[in-house]
Structure 1
Amino acid sequence: MQGGGRASAVDGMVQHIRGLIRERGLTVGDVLPSEGELAVMFDASRNTVREAFRTLKAYGVAESRQKVGAVLTDQHQVAMRDLFSFAMDISVDAFRDIQGYRRLTEMNLFDLLAGRIGEDTLAEMDAVNARIGRATTPEDASDLDFQFHRLMVEAAGNRTLSETYGMLKPVIRRLMLAGKSHRLALEGVVAEHAEIVQALRKTDRIAFVYHMNRHLDAGLEFIPPPGRPDAGHGAGLQEDAR
């Protein structure tokens, strides 16, 4: 009974800490209260708090840092999403599945963005888009492409959506590599991004949906069929035949 009671106390403390994280809106990098503070806060022994911390660390929710204490982390999520990205075969079906998710999220953000997005964010999106046009490698271009879309998603003000989008970064970024080694394709990305920003400035829903839809479809032609090497990756950008 004693062992069961101790386990229940530890589980209860884990739930208390999770509740505290939600109530205070704590996120990755934030420092949790000390063992002593939590023991007083929830009328528990320091041993119980220590065991609860061990549970959180085992699940990759927190880690101990010297002279700082317990810090929130997302090591488990990072490991899982990186594994998912590594294992995922970038096929036509995978492309459509991921872009389908983005249609359900990004293309339906207009109403939120129309009332929230400011000129500072739009100007930042313009600046990132200009850097895409100057990118010298497909990897740099895809990183900047993701950054452009992340700015838009975060401007909607939905924390859950922002965190989910961030978790999918390795997968989305990998799809964004499609076609980035072709100069004409890259110019097309920059042009569509500019139209998306312009639609947001004018609060033009039809233009926003139209250009987002075109943009999300654009990379499909660069997804190689089964058995053919991926033609969308490369050390540098290629000039297309004109």
Structure 2
Amino acid sequence: MAGKGPLRHAPTVLLCAGLLALIGVAQHLEISFTDRTAPIATSGSPEEPVDTGTFTLTVDDVRLAAAVADASDLPEETDADAGVDPGTDPDGDGEDGAVDDGLDPAALDDDGAGLLGDGGAPLEAEGLWVVVDLTVTATDRGLTVDTPALLDVADGLSYGSVGLDYTMENYQISPGIPASGSLAFEVPQERLEDPTLRFVAGGIDSRLAGEAKVDLGLEESDLDAMTNDPVEVAPISAPATS
């Protein structure tokens, strides 16, 4: 009879062990508060607007540049610089004179980084600037662009947008009114592979906000061509409604 004593407790021990295992599994499967309230992502491509339910986002252009500058700081090209006869309207904007590309090469030094009169000098990148021009329309309530937007690359790293006075961080978007602007990311050239934009806009905070994930669609050949011959200075216009 004495030998049967430990066996009497075996079911209890097994039950306790089972309960502990279940508790461990439950803790492992528990969704954290951060995950429960994270932005809700909708994926898409540059070919069409991405509709998150709270806003739509369209990627209008992607530019690679050695430097960026506020477009309003860049002197306009003159008729003489452009070789246009005064009194003509070459770009059909209803105004006589040269096509306004926002950048006067004569205002730059040999490195493309210089002399902009009363405006600020272009901001050069350690690697390359990836400038994403986009249009965002809030669906039914005002939203604020979350800071920073992120640019994911193939090796798993993410680069945050650089908040400049003329980029779209913290911009207020009114419902139903398209707002256009740009985001600028500073990325090492060797890391720039399969870039994907992650853009969040929410209300008071970004919990359960909409998030647009847009594969920028830049193939290796596209990136090679763009990185080998990037724009010297990319003019960026301040956000505006249309």
TM-score (ref. length: structure 2): 0.27
Q: Select the structure that is richer in strand.
A: 2
Structure with higher Rg: it is 2
More relative contact order, 1 or 2 (CA 8 Å, 6+ apart): 2
* Larger helix share, 1 or 2: 1
